[in-house]
Structure 1
Amino acid sequence: MDRFDALRTLLAAVDGGSLSAASRRLGMPLPTVSRKISELEAHLGTQLLIRTSRKLVLTEAGQGFVPAARRVLGELEEAERAAAGEYRTPSGELLVTASLRFGKAYLTPVVLAFLAEYPQVNVRVIAADYVVDLIENHVDVAVRVGRLPDSGLVARRIGETGWVVCASPAYLEQRGTPQTPEDLAAHDCIAFEGLQPARHWPFGVGADARTIAIKPRFAGNTADAVIAAAVADMGVVRLLSYQAAEAISHGQLIPLLADQSPDPMPVHLVHPPAQLVPLKLRAFLDFVAPRLKTALRDLGG
């Protein structure tokens, strides 16, 4: 039995929630997945997983073993990268994630410039308007907008981005321009369901801070969808400044209630902790961070 291979199979099943998920992730036949885990359990002399029809449940022994297995495989991967030279010269592949709009407008151009400087590094950019689990999906670094939970990830702040309430010129001509947040009660609104709270918009800071309930005429879970609705004269939308920048610069959307904006959201580069940070990741962070910081500053937060 290849114990390292068995550990990888076990973690794929635990992370995926089923043997079938591990089979798909590893490109391995389902009976082989089941056999490898059974062989590992036989080797240890204890059951690690309880297999039900819907999910896998860790036994008490499994709850203690899985974190140790992660550490062992992590140290093995570190040793392999060191032997392959990743700690001597930037090389290898990086997986990077950001939101759709940020990835397209800001991250991708910087990544392309990075690739020109570091020909031995390859980068995959995954853009999505939802939070990608860095550990489960083996992501090297992510751009995160908003206040970070206490997750154990390593974070480097690169700036902040403000909130913008806006609408199309045609909509405002037809329905009038709201002068206060409370005026939104008389307007059609557009909710970005990917941000929470989606139907209570905060305004003001300090003693003036308050939330306003809105009734969406349209709601979507991507920035592109809600921007398209706003440009199509469907109502008032609330976006982060980097999301609205292009439409505003083209005159498709007009900012509103600028003096009532809430505190801006911090922007960080985050990555999983590591005893030794590979040169490819260190080089990427040192290259990308100041350039994204400049882009956010030029955007005006």
Structure 2
Amino acid sequence: MSRPEVNRSGEMEVFVQVVERGGFSAAARQLRMTPSAISKLVARLEGRLGSRLVNRTTRKLLLTPEGQTFYERAVRILADIDEAERSASSHADPRGLIRINTSAAYGTHVLSKILGRFLETYPGISIEVIQTDLIVDLLAEKADIAIRAGPMPSSSLRARKLGETQLVIVASPAYLERHGTPQSAADLEHHNRLGFGYVRAVREWPVVEKDQIVDVPVAGRLSASDGEALRHFAIGGAGLAQLAHFTVAEDLKAGRLVTVLDNALTRRHEPFHAVYVGQGGHLPARIRTMLDYLAEHGRVF
């Protein structure tokens, strides 16, 4: 087949559907084609490229390294084509699904308050929110945007900063009445320090003691997979927790929680970023619109 006769964008669309739907049959149903037609098209594509893109087994389809690279670039190219067509049409409003991966804390205290207005403003956009405190692979999880706390490591990912929030140590009044209020880093050794059930970049609570910073290990008898669960445990009187101030501001105001060791804390601040794949100029309108909206309305303090 000569090059001008090849519908390369059509091949890309079929291949992307095969990957995202997890097989030929599911892609065929989505595209209203037969599984044999899908299989022949992928085989023809592999033959033209001279590379195997997928390994087929009886139960699932696995991408080869070449297939993974082709898939990632095809997604970007199809997004560019879609964006170009929308920009040239009278229906230039952003449309489509946005998948956001976020911590439970940010989802509860920030996204829950701002996404309603976003959906009203952009009726062509749908949003799927996946909550986890673990750092995920955006491509593997098919996430468009991830909200991450902490310093940004160097990577191929791009990011928009969403502000910084102070970390505070909190406890319920009932817990402090039973166990006393810690006045120093040494006092923390006698308290249940609630922690995360997975490895984090920062595993200690830095506390100032005699003009020196003492890193107090988080070694309590209760841990959780996300900060929102730790917040509820602290409210319930289970122990002390170090949490982002924006997640406990209403609890502090209502008296459900109180801060401890205010004068001894290092005033450590934790930055938040909206992380995404690709250069800003190649983003679909729906992603760029959401990033702009988060930068304006989704900041933490």
Q: 1:10 to 1:278 in 2, by over 3 A?
A: closer
Identity, % of aligned pairs? 27
TM-aligned CA distance change 1:129 to 1:25, over 3 Å? farther
1:266 to 267, 271, 282: 271
- Deviation, 1:143, is 2.2
- Tell me the equivalent position of 1:77: 79
1:201-232: CA deviation from partner (whole Å, max 9, x where unpaired): 33359x83332124312111122322222222
Distance 1:64 1:24, change over 3 A: closer
The change in CA–CA distance for 1:24 and 1:202 in structure 2 (over 3 A counts) is: farther
**Within 2, Cα distance between the matches of 1:108 and 1:226?**
19
Aligned pair partner of 1:103 in 100, 107, 121: 107
Aligned partners of 1:253, 1:24: CA distance in 2, in Å?
54
Asked if 1:134 corresponds to 2:138, the answer is yes
TM-score, normalization by structure 1: 0.76
Give the SS at the match of 1:216: coil
What is the aligned-residue RMSD (CA, Å)? 3.7
Q: Secondary structure at the match of 1:186?
A: coil
How many residue pairs were aligned?
282
Separation of aligned partners in 2, 1:285 and 1:44: 35
Match of 1:7 in 2: 15
- 2:13/2:78 contact within 8 Å kept: no
The alpha-carbon distance between structure 1 residues 80 and 223, as it changes in their structure 2 partners (threshold 3 A), is same
Relative distance call for 1:77 and 1:284 in structure 2 (3 A) is closer
The 5 Å alignment of 1:8-27 reads 8=16, 11-12=19-20, 22-23=22-23, 26=26
Deviation at 1:268, TM superposition (A): 1.4
Offset of 1:267 from its aligned partner? 1.1
Instruction: Specify the alignment match of 2:32 in structure 1.
Output: none
Give 1:7 deviation, angstroms: 2.9
SS of the residue 1:258 aligns to: coil
1:122 aligns with 2:154: no
What is the alpha-carbon distance in structure 2 between the residues aligned to residue 124 and residue 202 of structure 1? 36
Q: SS where residue 22 of structure 2 aligns?
A: helix
Which letter maps to 2:297? R
Q: Is the CA contact (8 Å cut-off) linking 2:76 and 2:282 kept in structure 1?
A: no
Q: TM-score, normalised by structure 2?
A: 0.76
- State the alpha-carbon separation in 2 of the partners of residues 137 and 24 from structure 1: 20
Q: Distance in 2 between matches of 1:123 and 1:287?
A: 13
Q: Which residues of structure 1 form unaligned runs of 5+?
A: 13-20
Q: Which residue of 2 aligns with 1:159?
A: 163
